């Protein structure tokens, strides 16, 4: 989670922060949402609204996901503190040689690679402040860079299970390994990134939108601790290779990589940075609570409504329909409950329909600020940086991209199915 996460207050002492009232004043609204969902889920189990057996099944399913989320985000946060992102971002700006077209291509590749390998929340939370700071340092307009990170945090999250929590759920349902999922989703992922790049250029990066014709490349980056930087970079690379080539369980690979990074910080004299506030408490509370609440709602009417909305067609028309419903539900509610609820309705043998639903909930949540957790976190990072996002423009450009990228990815899935 972000370094300034309000859950840090649970482990800090200071004026107003050492008692329950002080903690409550510092909790972010998202923290209250996460806690509220978990409380509602537990109340549903206690009161019998959600029977014990399906509740236990959901918790067995969510256990490995929670371990993965906690470890991979701690790893990504420490990797950021080791300046891996800063160095790569500076390298990208230098490699652009002052030319916006080349910088644009490199930024798209950088944001896509971060999302694919480290997950969309890493791009939203950790990469966004890096590129915004870089924009201020070299005189690049901030909004095009900001939109690049938030759009690709969502649309570049199709390829691997690690890229998005919804992918972990889908891979488990259709029994696909990381390499197996990549083999199916590589073309939809390319299509989604291609359409995103086209919309980014048309709406934010083209001449007249970005503010300048050229920029001044930054000085060569100098890491505070080159050894630590290399260890963290190697740990991230090893994590990716482990899940792709060895098909190691994601939770085991992320846990191992995190242990390596934590040990490196301890050995290199940076142990003071190893605090419990690194743990993404909000996510670890939100995910189980959301699963319980969605399962409860499913048991009391949502399931039947979604059966009607999604249908059971596993052909092209059914794929488009499922993706549209997933994208629409994501923008009305949130992409995670949209996928969990939709997955329960899709017939067991309809793999293509399920993957189309996955495309809808990954690529589609671009219109409303709450459509994905990554987008909510991105807005928070932009606000803290002082970057103003025009909501009207955000909504209508996001709607265009949501519709076109979702349709393009579904068509690509149909071609490879």
Task: Quote the pLDDT of residue 25.
Answer: 57
**Cα distances (Å, whole numbers) of residue 277 to 11, 120, 274, 383:** 7, 20, 8, 21
**Which pLDDT tens digit goes with each residue over 382-405?**
876 788 899 999 999 999 999 999
Task: Quote the pLDDT of residue 265.
Answer: 95
Q: Which regions of 116-264 does DSSP assign to beta strands (E)?
A: none
**Which pLDDT tens digit goes with each residue over 50-71?**
888 888 888 887 888 788 878 8
**CB neighbour list of residue 355: distance below 8 Å, 6 or more residues apart:** 170, 174, 184, 185, 319, 413
Task: Quote the pLDDT of residue 324.
Answer: 96
**Which pLDDT tens digit goes with each residue over 338-367?**
898 898 889 988 999 999 999 999 999 999
Q: Which three-class secondary structure state does DSSP give residue 16?
A: coil
Task: Quote the pLDDT of residue 111.
Answer: 94
pLDDT at 7 over 90: no
Per-residue confidence band for 209, with pLDDT thresholds at 50, 70 and 90: low
Residue with tokens 């399920």: 354
Per-residue confidence band for 22, with pLDDT thresholds at 50, 70 and 90: low
Single pTM value for the model: 0.78
Residues 71, 258 contacting (CB under 8 angstroms): yes
**Which pLDDT tens digit goes with each residue over 296-349?**
877 776 767 878 889 889 999 999 999 999 999 999 878 888 898 898 889 988
Token pair, residue 275, equals: 């605090």
CA distance 240 to 28: 32
Which residue, 288, 398, 279, 377, is CA-closest to 337?
A: 288
Phi and psi at residue 339, to the nearest 5°: -70, -45
Task: Quote the pLDDT of residue 131.
Answer: 86
């Amino acid at each position: 989670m972000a370094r300034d996460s309000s859950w840090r207050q649970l482990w800090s002492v200071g004026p107003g922060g050492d008692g329950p009232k002080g903690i409550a004043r510092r909790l972010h609204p998202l923290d209250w949402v996460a806690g509220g969902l978990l409380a509602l889920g537990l109340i549903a189990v206690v009161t019998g609204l959600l029977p014990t057996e399906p509740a236990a099944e959901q918790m067995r399913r969510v256990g490995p996901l929670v371990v993965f989320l906690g470890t991979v985000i701690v790893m990504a946060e420490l990797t950021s503190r080791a300046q891996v992102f800063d160095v790569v971002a500076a390298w990208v700006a230098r490699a652009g040689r002052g030319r916006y077209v080349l910088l644009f291509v490199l930024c798209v590749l950088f944001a896509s690679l971060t999302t694919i390998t480290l997950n969309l929340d890493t791009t939203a939370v950790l990469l966004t402040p890096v590129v915004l700071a870089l924009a201020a340092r070299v005189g690049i307009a901030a909004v095009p860079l900001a939109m690049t990170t938030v759009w690709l945090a969502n649309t570049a999250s199709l390829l691997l299970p690690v890229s998005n929590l919804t992918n972990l759920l889908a891979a488990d349902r259709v029994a696909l390994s990381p390499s197996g999922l990549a083999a199916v989703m590589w073309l939809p992922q390319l299509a989604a990134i291609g359409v995103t790049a086209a919309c980014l250029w048309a709406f934010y990066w083209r001449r007249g939108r970005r503010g300048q014709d050229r920029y001044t490349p930054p000085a060569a980056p100098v890491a505070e601790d080159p050894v630590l930087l290399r260890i963290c970079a190697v740990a991230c690379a090893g994590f990716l290779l482990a899940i792709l080539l060895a098909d190691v369980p994601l939770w085991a690979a992320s846990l191992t990589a995190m242990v390596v990074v934590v040990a490196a910080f301890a050995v290199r004299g940076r142990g003071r940075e190893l605090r419990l506030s690194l743990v993404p408490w909000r996510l670890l509370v939100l995910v189980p609570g959301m699963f319980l609440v969605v399962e409860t709602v499913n048991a009391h009417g949502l399931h039947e409504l979604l059966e009607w909305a999604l249908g059971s067609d596993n052909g092209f028309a059914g794929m488009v329909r499922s993706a549209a419903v997933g994208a629409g539900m994501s923008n009305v509610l949130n992409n995670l409950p949209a996928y969990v609820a939709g997955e329960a309705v899709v017939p067991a043998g309809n793999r293509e329909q399920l993957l189309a639903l996955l495309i809808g909930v990954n690529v589609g949540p671009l219109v409303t600020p709450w459509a994905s957790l990554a987008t909510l976190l991105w807005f928070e990072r932009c606000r803290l940086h002082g970057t103003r996002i025009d909501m009207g423009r955000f909504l209508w450009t996001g709607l265009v991209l949501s519709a076109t990228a979702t349709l393009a990815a579904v068509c690509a899935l149909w071609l490879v199915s």
